[in-house]
Amino acid sequence: MADIHYPPDFVTGLQMQWGTGFLSSGGPAEVAEILDTVDVSGKSVLDIGCGVGGPAMVIAKDLGAADVVGIDIEKYLIETAQNNVSAAGLDDRVSMKLVEEGPLPFPDERFDIVFSKDSLIHVPDKSALYKEVLRVLRPGGEFAASDWLRGDDAEDLDGYKEWRSLAVLDFRMQTPAETETEMRNAGLTGIRTNNRSDWYAGIVAQEVAMMRGDEWRESFVNAFGEEAYEKKLAVRIANGRAAACGGLQPTHLIGRK
């Protein structure tokens, strides 16, 4: 069984930041932005690293996918996602599946679209995953994801180093060039990347303002205590600085089979 990186309290805190169902920034608008050039309506979609289900529900409900399968390696997340899906009345179109790291448990050409939001950063062997993405896509199918990449000179940037020293999660950071090479080697074509660092630094600034507000601060401190609040705020501020200096580069990745 996978190690637990997203325990219940951490997940609750993240959803307080980003809304029910979301373990990443930007909410429904950012999900739509990742899929901006992809026609999702009536399609079959795989969501890799679905977390607690927010993006998969947006893809089904707002973008009109025929069916969405969310996969994740953590049992608690999949159970929470399944509850969120049922509460939203989307059981007929959205399903959640607990998987192990490694080959995807689906037949060849199962999906029209493979999507992922801010989850590939945790995957140790991205080359192998991109090959699996290609395998489960039907010919002409599309890959659309956001991933956290690192600038070429990230290790020289104070903002990046400070964030890496504070961040609690296990991140596998790659540069845009490394990522594009791995996608191409896997067989994806028409590869495009869209650097979202400016957008991300802006949205983190808004989140920090919200977290400093009396209402949010009080509800978080009541749930988890003052020390946890100060730590979370410090990580978030450092995260924004890492993006603003170009060390951390949240990036959209697009490719086609």
Ligand X SMILES: C[S@@+](CC[C@H](N)C(=O)[O-])C[C@H]1O[C@@H](n2cnc3c(N)ncnc32)[C@H](O)[C@@H]1O
Tokens describing residue 140: 């002409």
Which residue's CB is nearer to ligand X, number 55 or number 159?
Answer: 55
The full DSSP string for 2-33 is: ---SS-HHHHHHHHHHH-TT-SSTTHHHHHHH
Tokens describing residue 183: 């996608």
Which range, of 69-77, 180-188, 226-234, 247-255, touches ligand X by CB under 6 A? 69-77
Cα atoms found within 13 Å of the Cα of residue 81, Cβ hemisphere only: 30
The least CB distance from residue 141 to ligand X, in Å, is: 19
Q: Which of 43, 93, 122, 252 binds ligand X (CB under 6 A)?
A: 122
Which residue's CB is nearer to ligand X, number 50 or number 113?
Answer: 50
Dihedral angle computed from the Cα positions of residues 57, 42, 35 and 140, in that order, rounded to the nearest 10 degrees: 140
Q: Which residues contact 240 (CB under 8 A, 6 or more apart)?
A: 200, 201, 204, 205, 208
Q: Does the footprint of ligand X cover residue 151 (CB under 6 A)?
A: no
Q: Does the footprint of ligand X cover residue 82 (CB under 6 A)?
A: no
3-state secondary structure of 224: helix
Q: Does the footprint of ligand X cover residue 117 (CB under 6 A)?
A: yes
Which residue's CB is nearer to ligand X, number 74 or number 112?
Answer: 74
Q: Which of 24, 80, 179, 249 binds ligand X (CB under 6 A)?
A: 24
Q: Does the footprint of ligand X cover residue 159 (CB under 6 A)?
A: no
Q: Which of 79, 101, 109, 218 binds ligand X (CB under 6 A)?
A: 101
What's the angle, vertex CA 49, arms to CA 47 and CA 51, rounded to 5? 105
Footprint of ligand X (CB under 6 A): 6, 22-24, 48-51, 54-55, 71-74, 77, 101, 117-119, 122-123
